[in-house]
């Protein structure tokens, strides 16, 4: 609580102002302006802030998927390289480098059905694969 003591004259004036009706307050403003040259400062009136739209927005639907090799079973490395070569048309060295550099992008922006098919083939060969959604 505020422990300040106020001058009794100020308290009396403040209490009188608070007790004014709207009509008397308007008259007091006119009196102070005309007789004493005191102008009441007006604050700009701001338009109301619109309420935010709280409806949940639907998440964008992925239109394509990136196929990423995350790793592979070392005993099945050759089989994984073979599938990568078939599906990407890479040479032996490039396919081997891609598989060994996992995690690595194998194909990008494939339709969902094609991406799932490639994932299944790579997993059957011994790879660990992730499909990453691409929203366009």
Structure tokens at 93: 């060295």
| pLDDT band at 128; cut points 50, 70, 90 | very high
Give this prediction's pTM: 0.56
Sequence-distant (≥ 6) Cβ neighbours of residue 15 within 8 angstroms: none
Domain map (residue ranges) of the chain: 7-42, 64-134
Q: pLDDT at position 136, please?
A: 67
Task: Report the C-alpha dihedral over residues 118, 123, 126, 132, rounded to 10 degrees.
Answer: 80
Pairing between strand 104-110 and 127-134? unpaired
Q: pLDDT at position 123, please?
A: 94
Answer whether CATH 3.30.1390.10 is correct for domain 64-134: yes
> Burial, 135: exposed, middle or buried (Cβ in 10 Å; 0-12, 13-18, 19+)?
exposed
């Amino acid at each position: 609580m505020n422990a300040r003591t106020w001058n009794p004259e100020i308290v009396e004036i403040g209490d009188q102002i608070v007790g004014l009706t709207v009509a008397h307050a308007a008259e007091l403003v006119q009196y102070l302006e005309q007789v004493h040259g005191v102008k009441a400062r007006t604050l700009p009136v701001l338009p109301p802030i619109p309420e935010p739209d709280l409806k949940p927005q639907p998440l964008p639907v992925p239109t394509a998927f990136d196929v990423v090799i995350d790793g592979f079973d070392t005993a099945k490395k050759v089989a994984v390289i073979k599938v990568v070569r078939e599906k990407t048309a890479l040479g032996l060295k490039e396919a081997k480098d891609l598989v060994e550099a996992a995690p690595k992008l194998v194909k990008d922006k494939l339709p969902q059905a094609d991406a799932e098919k490639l994932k299944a083939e790579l997993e059957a060969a011994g790879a660990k694969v992730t499909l990453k959604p691409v929203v366009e």
